[in-house]
Amino acid sequence: MKHHGKKAITIVTGCLGSGKTTLLQHILKEPSINNNTAVIVNEYGKIGLDHHLLRQAEERTILLKGGCICCNSRADLEEELKELLYEDESGEAPFERVVIETTGMADPSPILFTVLTNPLLQHRYIVDCVITTVDAKNGMLQLRNNPEIIKQITVADKIVLTKTDICSPEEHDAILTHIQSLNPSCVIILAVHGKVDPFIIQETSNVDRLKVIHSLPSPVTHTNSNVSSISFSFSQPLDWTAFGLWLSMLLHANGENIMRVKGMLDVGENGPVVLNGVQHIIHPPQHLEQWPSLNQESYLIFIVRDIDTALIERSLKTFQQFLHTVVKTCELSTIY
């Protein structure tokens, strides 16, 4: 079984009015999803969701001593997720997946932290996919005014570009270029009135992300740029222990500013290791049994804030003595 008996969690985030609820409404119309999915919302929006397993959670964050923003626990979610587990196990309302819809201003990383570090939840739930909705019409304006949206885009596995029917082709291209340069590894889906393939709430790992990185448009540079991304590809298998040493040290020192790390690494096993992290939080790395595509090249993407990407490159190349591999830089881009 893919998740080893754990319940999958899909997080849907995005700015106020970017179409999160409309998207969910459409997805929940699919009977096979509707029957076995529980939904947790932070706020009831103007558009109501009609669902048999709908819960509301008032956002309550427990601030941990000395913790940064990402390392905070969401007590409300913890309670709701435990409650749902109880209902599932008592046979009252069984489900296979939970969709968490956040508020427009929410930072999704505390949700990941809660699920991945809670002693009970980490064994019963797995964060499968993070979907961010971006309004194609007002996206550029929101990117300029709301720093949260940058975080929401960098954390996303999939981005649903909404309101594509009312935006001009220029607006469409501008926001698309920006999203791709902010998060080179994400999958972008276009939607009108929330109409998308309902199964996007499940993670698909067969996308050839290396191809996506190679086909990137030229980076957008802003004068006040502080978020940038860098991608690496590796031509030989690398030593997983040595790599873990380097990355854990990097995250210890700079975790708060490493907004996203994502990669598929050849560590000399039959399949690659899928690495996925947001700030200090690293998902348990998945060791796949085989490569999802024919292209067996390892890649690693960092999206960082206020860190010189050239230094990351230099550090990784210096540490390659430990890594026993040759590092190539794919793409070095400074954005927003």
Partner 1 sequence: MCILCGEFIMQVHWTDYTDSTDTEITVGNQQRIRQRGRLHRANLCNQLLSHYRLTLEEWNGSKFILRDAKGNAEIVHDLGTVWHHVEAMLGYPIDPLDVSLLDKIAERNSAQ
Site membership for partner 1, residue 252 (CB under 8 A): yes
| Number of helices and strands in the chain (H, E) | 11, 16
Joined together, the tokens standing for residue 218 give 């030229």
Rounded-to-integer distance, Cα 255 and Cα 269, Å: 28
Site membership for partner 1, residue 68 (CB under 8 A): no
Binding mask 14-33 for partner 1 (x = CB under 8 A): --------------------
Q: Which residue from 319, 329, 332, 334 is in contact with partner 1, where contact means CB under 8 A?
A: 319
> If you count them, how many residues does the chain have?
336
Q: Which of residues 219-248 bind partner 1 (CB under 8 A)?
A: 239, 241-242, 244-246, 248
Q: Which residue from 223, 224, 290, 321 is in contact with partner 1, where contact means CB under 8 A?
A: 321
Site membership for partner 1, residue 322 (CB under 8 A): yes
Place of tokens 């598929």: 264
The piece of 28-36, 81-89, 280-288, 327-335 that touches partner 1 (CB under 8 A) is: 280-288
List alpha helices for the chain, DSSP H: 20-27, 31-34, 75-89, 109-117, 121-124, 139-145, 147-155, 169-182, 209-214, 240-254, 309-323
Site membership for partner 1, residue 4 (CB under 8 A): yes
Q: Which of residues 288-317 bind partner 1 (CB under 8 A)?
A: 307-308, 311-312, 314-315
Place of tokens 């290396």: 210
Site membership for partner 1, residue 90 (CB under 8 A): no
Environment class of residue 40 by beta-carbon count within 10 Å: exposed (0-12), middle (13-18) or buried (19+)?
Answer: buried
Q: How many Cα atoms sit within 13 Å of 74 on the Cβ side?
A: 26
Shortest spacing between CB 64 and partner 1, in angstroms: 13
Shortest spacing between CB 318 and partner 1, in angstroms: 5
Q: Which residue from 249, 295, 326, 328 is in contact with partner 1, where contact means CB under 8 A?
A: 249
CB 279 within 8 A of CB 269: no
The piece of 49-57, 86-94, 124-132, 282-290 that touches partner 1 (CB under 8 A) is: 282-290
CA 170 from chain centre, in angstroms, equals: 27
CB 184 within 8 A of CB 304: no
Shortest spacing between CB 328 and partner 1, in angstroms: 18
Joined together, the tokens standing for residue 49 give 């969701």
| Cβ distance to partner 1 smaller for residue 63 or 253 | 253
| Cβ distance to partner 1 smaller for residue 124 or 283 | 283
Joined together, the tokens standing for residue 45 give 């929006």
Binding site for partner 1 (CB under 8 A): 4, 117, 119, 122, 239, 241-242, 244-246, 248-250, 252-254, 269, 273, 277, 282-285, 287, 307-308, 311-312, 314-315, 318-319, 321-322
